[in-house]
Amino acid sequence: MPKFEATRRVTHTPEQMFALVADVETYPQFLPLCEALTVRSRKERDGRTILVADMSIGYKAIRETFTTQVLLKPDENTIDVKYIDGPFKYLSNVWRFDPADRGCEVHFFIDYEFKSRILGVVMGTMFDRAFRMFSEAFEKRADIIYGSTPTA
């Protein structure tokens, strides 16, 4: 049952970081292992957005696609991701963006397990490395979009 958790302080506002992570369609442009991402549906309700999305990941000769429900909660600067279908037994992912001096703290948590032990062994180490790179990839993307100077 691999888990990964990281907190990273960035020089962007919680709202900027929320918007960046919520823009799932752009993930293939900058996110490690993400080869494609398609939003199947998008529903707005009570100021929140629920997406159902297919993400295709790849590493060397291995390609897998999985489906998740993404709940965007801008009023809480939180994004909850729940697993629907694919190669996992389960997957839960939470992003939280808390105000901090001159920017925000980005909290990233993921808990998952592959259905197949073999796939878990093959992909496990690579996933651990990729998750460690995720926070950095989002921070670099934010610097490109919003600039690298601290917020006021």
For residue 142, give the CATH number of its domain: 3.30.530.20
Q: How far apart are CA 52 and CA 38, in angstroms?
A: 9
What is the token pair recorded at 149?
């100077």
Q: What's the CA angle centered on 5, arms 4 and 9, to 5 degrees? A: 140
What is the token pair recorded at 63?
């390609």
Q: Which helix (H) or strand (E) holds 37?
A: strand 34-45
How many CA atoms lie within 13 Å of 93's alpha carbon, on the beta-carbon side? 20
Higher per-residue confidence, 99 vs 150: 99
Does residue 24 surpass a pLDDT of 80?
A: yes
Confirm whether 85 is domain-assigned: yes
Confirm whether 107 is domain-assigned: yes
Confirm whether 77 is domain-assigned: yes
pLDDT of residue 63: 87
pTM above 0.85, yes or no: yes
Higher per-residue confidence, 54 vs 130: 54
The closest of 28, 27, 33, 31 to 123, measured between CA atoms, is 33
Confirm whether 28 is domain-assigned: yes
What is the token pair recorded at 48?
């929140």
pLDDT digits (tens, 9 = 90+) for 26-43: 999 999 889 999 999 999
Confirm whether 152 is domain-assigned: no
Q: What is the mean pLDDT of residues 39-57?
A: 96
pLDDT of residue 118: 78
Q: How far apart are CA 107 and CA 39, in angstroms?
A: 24
Range of the structural domain that residue 34 is part of: 3-146
Confirm whether 151 is domain-assigned: no
Domain tally, the chain: 1
Does residue 89 surpass a pLDDT of 80?
A: yes
